[in-house]
Amino acid sequence: MELKKQLKQYQNIIDEELTKYIKKETCPEEKWQQSMEYSLMAGGKRLRPILVLSTYQLFQEDTKIAMPYAVAIEMVHNFSLIHDDLPGIDNDDFRHGKPTNHKQFGESTAILAGDGLLNQGYEVISQTLAKTTNPEEIQRQIRVLGEFSHAVSRMLAGEYVDTEWEGKQISSLELEYIHNNKTAALLKLCVRMGAILAKAPENDIEKLTHYAEKIGLAFQIKDDILSVEGDEKILGKPVGNDEKKQKCTYVSLYGLEEAKGKLNQLTEKAIQELEPYGEKAEFLKQLAIYIQTRNK
């Protein structure tokens, strides 16, 4: 309950912040802007920005410096969802219980809405850099920008390999390759951005990276489990899609029970990485448990 309240609090802050970046001008490209807003405000869990902010708060209180990066990563995440859902890729009709972007606005608008959100992520970062005057702060932000663009490239590589291997029987190593890139790279980035911007010492950045890698993989395993035994109404998208598409998942590879075992093990190990931080890391610990036990 406590966690749910905290999550809600973070979500509200992030939603409020995101709305500041939404353009509401009367202009010829109005519908394009609406399509970006539609996906951005469709009710995502905001896990990525929450990771940025809560990691940042392990070291610093005021999240002002981390906030634009939390916003940027959520834009990029939503870009990837819009393009993944396209008829040319996954051809999905529902997301968060609503029609996917191309179902709502048409394919050409959805392609450009994805492009627009990816680019807007960088726009937010460049505006933030332009406003920063402290040279060390600028250096940290430039480092983050480098990691940001690299992680997005990894995410796209993972997405490509996922489509390339669809319907094929792949090994556990190959499945891990997909998800280390497609999902975990971005979650790792979030934690690293939070830590770097908060001036965390290098060994802390490393430790938290290990935490992120584990929850990143756990997140995907849980996704695969929910795709088999989740509740459609709560998930907001059809259950059994992976099977229908003959997607190789942790469940198809290991079976439901072993996948759950792997999920529990990763969660435990992720929590172990937080030990040095004691009470301060309680939220990140609860977040790992949330990823393990969520029903959507």
What are the residues binding a copy of itself (CB under 8 A)? 27-29, 31-32, 79, 83, 86-89, 102, 107-112, 114-116, 118-120, 122-123, 126-127, 129-130, 135, 138, 142-143, 145-146, 148-150, 152-153, 156-157, 159-161, 163-165, 174, 177
**Residue 123: CB minimum distance to a copy of itself, A:** 4
Integer Cα distance of 66 and 56 in angstroms: 7
Least separation in angstroms between residue 34's CB and a copy of itself is 11
Tell me the CA distances in angstroms from 111 to 67, 83, 88, 151, one per residue in order.
27, 7, 10, 21
93 vs 282, beta carbon nearer a copy of itself: 93
Q: 56 or 79, CB closer to a copy of itself?
A: 79
- Contacts for 165 with CB less than 8 Å, ≥ 6 apart: 174, 178, 248
Give the DSSP letter of residue 64: T
Q: Which residues contact 225 (CB under 8 A, 6 or more apart)?
A: 250, 251, 256, 259, 260, 263
Task: Please give the Cα distance from 251 to 30 (Å, whole number).
Answer: 43
CB of residue 179 to a copy of itself, shortest distance in Å: 12
* C-beta closer to a copy of itself: residue 143 or 210: 143
Measured CA to CA, the distance from residue 218 to residue 291 in angstroms comes to 7
Question: 83 or 260, CB closer to a copy of itself?
Answer: 83
Answer yes or no: are the C-beta atoms of 72 and 66 closer than 8 Å: no
- Mention every residue, 6+ apart, whose C-beta is less than 8 A from residue 119: none
CB of 229 vs a copy of itself, minimal distance in Å = 28
**Smallest gap, in angstroms, from Cβ of residue 75 to a copy of itself?**
12
Nearer to a copy of itself, 138 or 234 (CB): 138
- Provide the minimum distance between the beta carbon of 119 and a copy of itself in the complex, in angstroms, as a whole number: 5
Nearer to a copy of itself by C-beta: 133 or 203?
133
